[in-house]
Amino acid sequence: MNGLITDGVFWLFAVGSVVTAFRVFRTDSMMRAAFFLLASFAGVGGILALLGAEFLGMVLILMMAGEMLVMAIVMVMFMMNPAGLNPMWMVHQHRVAVVAGAGSFLALASLPFVVDLPDRPAPRPEEATAELGTELLGGSMLVFQTAGVTLLSAMIGAVVIAHRNGRFGEAEQGSLEPALEPPGEEKG
Amino acid sequence: MTLEAVLVVAAALFGIGLYGALSQQSFVMLMMGLELMINGGILALAALWSRSAGGNPQGQMLGVVFMTVMAAEMSLGFALITSVYRVRRADITEKLRRLKG
Amino acid sequence: MARAGLQLGLKQALGRVAAGAPVPVFAVAGQGAREHVQDLRLDGRLRLVDSPGAAMVLLIAGGLPDGLAEPLAHLHDSLPHPRATLWWPLGAGPATWPQQFVPTIETRDGVSETLQAIQRELLRGQRPGEPPILPDEDPVPWKGVGPYGQGGTGMTGGTPYGRPMAELGADRDGLRLDVLPLRIGPFFPRFPPGLTLDLKLAGDVIVDVAPVESPFAGAPPVGVCRAGARIFVDALSQPVPVAGLELARAREHLRWLADALVAVELGSLGSRVLRLAAELRTSDGDSIRTLGRALRRTQAIGWATNGVGRIPAAAVEGLGAGPIARAAGLPEDERTHDPAYSGLGFEPIVQRDGDAAARWRQRLGEAAQSLELAARAGDRRTVPTGSVESPRGRLDGEGNATARFLHLLPGVLQGLEWGDAVTTLVSLDLDFEEAVFAETARAGAVAS
Amino acid sequence: MRDYASPGVAIVAVGAILVAGVYVLAVLDRLLGMIVAGTSIRLGALLAEPVQSGALLVLQERRTTERPDAAGWALAPALFGGLAAVALAMVPLDRDIVAADPATGFVVFSAAIAMVMIAIYLHGWSPNSAFALHGAYRYGAQALSFQIPFLLAMLATALPAESLSIVDIVDAQKSVWNVVREPAGLPLYLVVGVAVSFWGPLNLPDAADLAGGTVVEDSGLDRLLWKGARAAMLVAVAAMGAAVFLGGWWGPWLPGPAWVVLKTVALLVVLLASGHLLARVRIEQFVFVSWVLLIPLALLNVFVSGALLL
């Protein structure tokens, strides 16, 4: 009975997250696209929790909520048609993309049926969070610290890149090194 | 909720993400594709961790690393979008023929 | 069938419960109605709401010029069903308007009871909700091709749904982003009655602003002069008691304060101030000083207003802008020319900063000062000189401070965030009625 | 997996507690407003008013705007209310009385708080109205600023318990409450708590200068549900504050659940009073204070409480 409920919830999340992921590229407003993407992530977060990786799943949702908001703001700022008044269909190399997407799906989806994966379920899923904590600050301390430093440098880099004052003067001027030629007519 | 089922779902997410990343012209939509691919990766990782690798905590650790990559990709991506828009007023890939300056 | 019966029964039961709720009213203050509408805030039987979506009854008070007929019809149609309208003319003449706007009640007494009765009838189904006045159609006709009326093909083809895409405008961070054209007014609850602004917003920031001409200005009065402004208009042409004039000034300042407190989310404190204003006596100087301390503690004068909407003295010099000028350090005051004030030791209060906080402090200080003057004035009467210092500045036959100040408004508001712009506008205390009645007073025909 | 109530029981219990909490909050808020306004208080009217106004909103019809995103509009209050319920479900009434006690209760609560900004954004964006969208953007700026101090302030409470489970966090406060252990935590949490449910001085998305902000186009049931969800979120924030800072069920004489309720109401009074006694903050100031003052303060709070435990 319990397994049946778990299975039902899993398929709900699974179908939901795949359908919403597909809808991301099939909607007329970037805003809706962002909401669909978040729904897809929330579904995956749910599946992660079902698999026992509660911490990862919840952190995924926590992180993605902020990220989607930033994404929505960036889209309204820079992208045209945020309200979805016009149909949105902005693609290139569409056929290649479809083939690549379908191909990678088929290849990856066939893997578990072709490869004989070992069947070793996690013995104590209820301890998973504590184990992760011990791992983070124990054996994998260096990896964890590296991840932290990477994020910090990404943050600083992002601020520097997005800032109005580039390294060689104001960014609108096309902040080139003084010795280089100014940008040609390819601009904007 | 067998291992195979979860891996198929992960593959579907990855495939959709790859399609989006290759086909979309708009920077942000392109990034959404990338996010979906990483998302599929995390799901596959968690499935293998839980069902096939005996719950080795290093599996979850790898998931944390994936999320770090995701966050770094997002922050730098948005910063680049802002910067490119500031200089070139470009919001789709076709408007960027050179990456310099 | 049974389900429909159950639904009806449930609806009736809910209706009986809901009938006792405070009536949500969206009030429109026309000419001569500002104080009357404001006083409704003190009535526990009803609740003034900020958005027509939250209202059940549209209350139209005072005289309304013809220019407001169409916006009013739009407003009426945006109330949810079931809805009703109540016009409370306050002595204004009959309107040639749709039948929803025929006068329904004449006197102050009974407004709340009538509103409650309307609500009860609407909820019990004894009174049909009013149908829309305007046809239910889009303001811009559906046009274009495709299911969404897009102008052409692709993302940016043509004008989708008959609406132009937003245009690019400069941004304070050096990015060129979309700007949003927007018209706000004439019934926006934070604005003084009659103010409409045409805005261009980049995000939260005002890029461009132009006041639309007030429907009140320029036209002959359609209602009677409101009680608070009456004595100042009278003082233009006849001697009036100084004590009465100063008491009225303090009252006007406190009424302004009550509105300003609502704008910074301190509605309950606003009600307290409003009650003080309604029952103000010359001996209430201490209450006003206590109030000043309370406002500094609540940070209403503080983080909400400090440095917001700074107007330098040079910009308003010679405009007779009253508290706005004095808050910037100009000791301009018509009362210094009035011989009636010469023996009272009157000295204009001034502030230095010229920002919204200074204007709040200025008005509070003036309210306390006015009470002192009123207490000392005895039975002195003013000497009509053709111009009067009203609570908003110099009032003469040509117009009032608001009329002279209006052309400065775009310069003051540009570059502000919307929240700060509202704080600034509130702190200016604009009034479009005073000038109309001052002009008619000069012509010697104030409606009485 | 740790303790979970069976789904049916949990849903009914959390739902009932939420509705009761929202009612108590409405009465308290009105009471405080009347005290500040100096009006005479009639108890009967005070107790009946929330129910009457709620019934009125149920009977009013929904309204629509030109080309709204109907699905998003209807979904937003449900999402917000659901998040409030998830957040509240993490709060234990006693060691054994809790709807759900996952090992990651702290992270679940934080994720619910983070998703609130999506609910508000959806609510502001979907009606296709300028003021509503402005409100949504303001909350975006507000939410991105308070997320980090919020997480840090709560994180410090997980340190003494050496666990992310809320039950463990409360359990670890048997001898000393966290409010004593880390005095900076509760004020930080309360500031951010007001911001999360955008109440009073931090009511920027639904502000009076936007004539109601994201809620401006709502009428009838939409408005009732939105206001209810917002109040529910404040209740959840207060209840969680009572659990992680004020020692939850620990206390002399009274049974545990009574203490939880008492402490929650006490925090609610503080949160609600701020709405009647403090002026609206400007968004610029709030963002500045969050990044420049609250984050360093919250970091310091974590460091100090960590150092004390070593």
For residue A184, give the 3-state DSSP assignment: coil
Q: What is the pLDDT of residues A51-98, one digit of tens each?
A: 888 888 998 998 888 888 888 778 777 765 555 555 666 777 888 888
pLDDT over threshold 90, residue D19? yes
Out of A65, A69, A83, closest to residue D128 by CB: A83
- A33 to B24: CB separation less than 8 angstroms, yes or no: no
Q: Return d(Cα D94, Cα D156) in angstroms, integer.
A: 22
User: What is the CATH classification number for the domain harbouring B67?
Assistant: 1.10.287.3510
More confident site: C22 or D68: C22
Touching B: A residues 13-72, CB under 8 Å = 14, 17-18, 21-22, 24-25, 30, 33-34, 37, 40-41, 44, 47-48, 50-53, 55-56, 59-60, 63, 67, 70-71
Q: What is the DSSP letter of D204?
A: -
Touching B: C residues 237-296, CB under 8 Å = none
Q: Return d(Cα C185, Cα C71) in angstroms, integer.
A: 9
Q: What is the pLDDT of residues C44-55, one digit of tens each?
A: 888 999 999 899
Residues of D with CB under 8 A from a CB of A: 1-2, 67, 69, 72, 102-104, 107-108, 110-111, 114-115, 117-118, 121-122, 125, 128, 137, 140, 143-144, 147, 164
Residue D62 near chain C (CB below 8 Å): yes
Residue D38 lies in a domain: yes
pLDDT over threshold 90, residue D21? yes
Please give the torsion angle defined by the CA atoms of residues A133, A136, A138 and A142, in that order, rounded to the nearest 10 degrees: -170
Whether the CB-CB separation of C155 and C84 falls below 8 Å is answered with: no
- A80 to C165: CB separation less than 8 angstroms, yes or no: yes
Residue D2 lies in a domain: no
- C266 to D279: CB separation less than 8 angstroms, yes or no: yes
D near B: at least 3 beta-carbon pairs less than 8 Å apart? no
Give the gyration radius of chain A's Cα atoms: 22
Residue B99 near chain A (CB below 8 Å): no
Touching C: D residues 250-289, CB under 8 Å = 275-285
pLDDT over threshold 70, residue D113? yes
Give pLDDT, residue B84. Answer: 80
- D-chain residues near A61 (CB < 8 A): 111, 114-115
CATH homologous superfamily for the domain C227-442: Cytochrome-c3 Hydrogenase, chain B (1.10.645.10)
- C272 to D34: CB separation less than 8 angstroms, yes or no: no
Out of C53, C82, C264, closest to residue D280 by CB: C264
Residue C2 near chain B (CB below 8 Å): no
Whether the CB-CB separation of A43 and A24 falls below 8 Å is answered with: no
N- to C-terminal Cα separation, chain A: 61
| Vertex D91: Cα angle to D86 and D95 (nearest 5) | 140
- A88 to C155: CB separation less than 8 angstroms, yes or no: yes
Which domain covers residue B67, as residue numbers?
3-95
For chain B, list the contacting chains (3+ Cβ pairs, <8 Å): A, C
Residue D179 lies in a domain: yes
- Looking at the DSSP bridge assignments, the partners of residue C182 are C199
Per-position DSSP letters for D269-307, written without gaps between them: HHHHHHHHHSPPPPHHHHHHHIIIIIHHHHHHHHHHHHH
Residue B87 lies in a domain: yes
CB pairs < 8 Å spanning A and B: 284
- A72 to D121: CB separation less than 8 angstroms, yes or no: yes
Structural tokens at position B66 = 């994936």
- C304 to D279: CB separation less than 8 angstroms, yes or no: yes
Torsions phi, psi for C293 (to 5 deg): -65, -45
Give pLDDT, residue A109. Answer: 87
Residue B101 lies in a domain: no
C near A: at least 3 beta-carbon pairs less than 8 Å apart? yes
Q: What is the SS3 assignment for A156-176?
A: HHHHHHHCCEECCEEHHHCCC
Residue D188 lies in a domain: yes
Residue A31 near chain D (CB below 8 Å): yes
| Vertex D211: Cα angle to D223 and C276 (nearest 5) | 110
Which residue matches tokens 């309720």?
Answer: D261
Residue D1 lies in a domain: no
Give pLDDT, residue D160. Answer: 84
- A161 to B33: CB separation less than 8 angstroms, yes or no: no
Q: Can the peptide bond before residue C186 be classed as cis, meaning omega within 30 degrees of 0?
A: yes
Residue D230 parent element (H or E): helix D220-244
> Any residues with CB less than 8 A from the CB of D20 and at least 6 apart, and which?
none
Determine how many CB atoms are found less than 10 A away from the CB of residue D292. 10
Residue B20 near chain A (CB below 8 Å): yes
Residue A175: closest CA among chain B residues belongs to which residue? B101
Residue B83: closest CA among chain C residues belongs to which residue? C175
- B-chain residues near C176 (CB < 8 A): 89
For residue B74, give the 3-state DSSP assignment: helix
Q: What is the DSSP letter of A52?
A: T
Give pLDDT, residue B97. Answer: 67
Which residue matches tokens 């076709």?
Answer: B94
Whether the CB-CB separation of C177 and C171 falls below 8 Å is answered with: yes
> Each residue of B56-92: b (16+ CB within 10 Å) or e?
bbebbbbbbbbbbbbbbebbbbbbbbbbbbbbbebbb
Give pLDDT, residue A45. Answer: 93
CB pairs < 8 Å spanning A and C: 37
Query: Residue C3 class from Cβ within 10 Å (0-12 exposed, 13-18 middle, 19+ buried)?
Result: exposed
pLDDT over threshold 90, residue B81? no
Whether the CB-CB separation of C211 and C421 falls below 8 Å is answered with: no
- C304 to D282: CB separation less than 8 angstroms, yes or no: yes
Residue D112: closest CA among chain A residues belongs to which residue? A62
Comparing C-alpha atoms, which of D136, D119, D264, D310 is closest to residue D212? D136
Cα distances (Å, whole numbers) of residue C47 to B22, C51, C288, D54, D218: 56, 12, 26, 14, 17
* Mean pLDDT, range D94-104, rounded to an integer: 81
Per-position DSSP letters for B6-38, written without gaps between them: HHHHHHHHHHHHHHHHHHB-BHHHHHHHHHHHH
Query: Residue C349 class from Cβ within 10 Å (0-12 exposed, 13-18 middle, 19+ buried)?
Result: middle
CB pairs < 8 Å spanning A and D: 65
Out of D37, D201, D282, closest to residue C420 by CB: D282
Whether the CB-CB separation of C169 and C177 falls below 8 Å is answered with: yes
> Each residue of A147-181: b (16+ CB within 10 Å) or e?
beeebeebeeebeebbbeebeeeebeebbbeeeee
- Looking at the DSSP bridge assignments, the partners of residue A170 are A165
Q: Return d(Cα A71, Cα C203) in angstroms, integer.
A: 16
Helices B27-51 and A30-51 cross at an angle (nearest 10°) of 10
Residue B89 near chain A (CB below 8 Å): yes
- A62 to D110: CB separation less than 8 angstroms, yes or no: yes
Cα distances (Å, whole numbers) of residue D252 to A132, C414, D25, D179, D260: 37, 59, 26, 17, 12
Residue A111 near chain B (CB below 8 Å): yes
More confident site: B35 or B53: B35
Residue D138: closest CA among chain A residues belongs to which residue? A73
Structural tokens at position B72 = 């770094």
The counts of H helices and E strands in chain B are 3, 0
Structural tokens at position D240 = 């969680």
Give pLDDT, residue C92. Answer: 73
Please report, for chain C, the start and end positions of each structural domain, with discontinuous segments joined by +: 2-124, 227-442
CA-based torsion, A20, B35, B24, A98: positive or negative = negative
- C14 to D58: CB separation less than 8 angstroms, yes or no: yes
For residue A10, give the 3-state DSSP assignment: helix
Q: Return d(Cα B32, Cα A21) in angstroms, integer.
A: 9
Q: Mean of the per-residue pLDDT values for chain D? A: 88
Give pLDDT, residue A25. Answer: 86
Give pLDDT, residue D236. Answer: 94
With a pLDDT cut of 90, the percent of chain D lying above it is 31
How do beta strands A165-166 and A169-170 pair? antiparallel
For C2-124, CATH number?
A: 3.40.50.12280
For chain C, list the contacting chains (3+ Cβ pairs, <8 Å): A, B, D
Residue A34: closest CA among chain D residues belongs to which residue? D118
Cα distances (Å, whole numbers) of residue A95 to A99, A102, B19, C132: 6, 11, 10, 52
Residue D257 parent element (H or E): helix D256-277
Structural tokens at position C84 = 């009703």
Q: Mean of the per-residue pLDDT values for chain A? A: 79
Q: How many domains does chain B have?
A: 1
Q: What is the SS3 assignment for chain C?
A: CHHHHHHHHHHHHHHHHHCCCCEEEEEEECECCHHHHHHHHHCCCEEECCCHHHCCEEEEECECCHHHHHHHHHHHHCCCCCCEEEEECCCCCCCCCCHHHCECCCCCCCHHHHHHHHHHHHHHCCCCCCCCCCCCCCCCCCCCECCCCECCCCCCCCCHHHCCCCEEEECCCCCEEEEEEEEECCCCCCCCCCCEEEEEEECCEEEEEEEECCCCCCCCCCCCCCHHHHHHHHHHHCCCEHHHHHHHHHHHHHHHHHHHHHHCCCHHHHHHHHHHHHCCCCCCHHHHHHHHHHHHHCCCCCCCCCCCCCCCHHHHCCCCCCHHHHHCCCCCCHHHHCHHHHHHCCCCCCCCCCCHHHHHHHHHHHHHHHHHHHHHHCCCECCCCCEEEECCEEEECCECHHHHHHHHHHHHHCCCEHHHHHHHHHHHCCCCHHHHHHHHHHCCCCCC
More confident site: D133 or C154: D133
pLDDT over threshold 80, residue D25? yes
Out of D111, D122, D125, closest to residue A61 by CB: D111
Which domain covers residue D29, as residue numbers?
7-309
Mutate: best of A55, A76, A81, A91, partner B, most B CBs <10 A: A91
Torsions phi, psi for C90 (to 5 deg): 55, 40
Q: How many domains does chain D have?
A: 1
CB pairs < 8 Å spanning B and C: 5
Give pLDDT, residue C139. Answer: 64
Residue B100 lies in a domain: no
- A125 to B55: CB separation less than 8 angstroms, yes or no: yes
| pLDDT band per the 50, 70, 90 thresholds, residue D80 | very high
Give pLDDT, residue A92. Answer: 79
pLDDT (tens place) for every residue of chain C, 448 residues total: 577 888 888 888 888 888 888 999 999 888 888 888 888 888 888 899 999 989 999 988 888 887 788 888 888 888 888 888 888 877 776 666 666 666 666 666 788 888 888 888 888 888 888 888 888 776 666 555 555 555 555 555 455 555 555 666 666 666 777 777 888 878 888 888 888 888 888 878 888 888 887 777 666 777 778 888 888 888 888 888 888 888 999 999 999 999 999 988 888 999 999 999 988 888 888 888 888 888 888 888 888 888 888 888 888 888 888 888 888 888 888 888 888 887 788 888 888 888 899 999 899 999 988 988 888 888 888 888 878 888 888 888 777 888 888 888 888 888 888 889 999 999 988 888 887 787 777 666 444 4
Residue A170 near chain C (CB below 8 Å): yes
Residues of C with CB under 8 A from a CB of A: 146, 148, 150-151, 154-157, 160-161, 163, 165, 173-175, 177
Determine how many CB atoms are found less than 10 A away from the CB of residue D252. 5
- A-chain residues near B76 (CB < 8 A): 154, 157-158, 161
* Mean pLDDT, range D51-80, rounded to an integer: 88
* Mean pLDDT, range A5-28, rounded to an integer: 89
Q: Can the peptide bond before residue C82 be classed as cis, meaning omega within 30 degrees of 0?
A: yes
Residue B82: closest CA among chain A residues belongs to which residue? A162
Give pLDDT, residue B42. Answer: 92
Q: Return d(Cα C204, Cα C101) in angstroms, integer.
A: 36
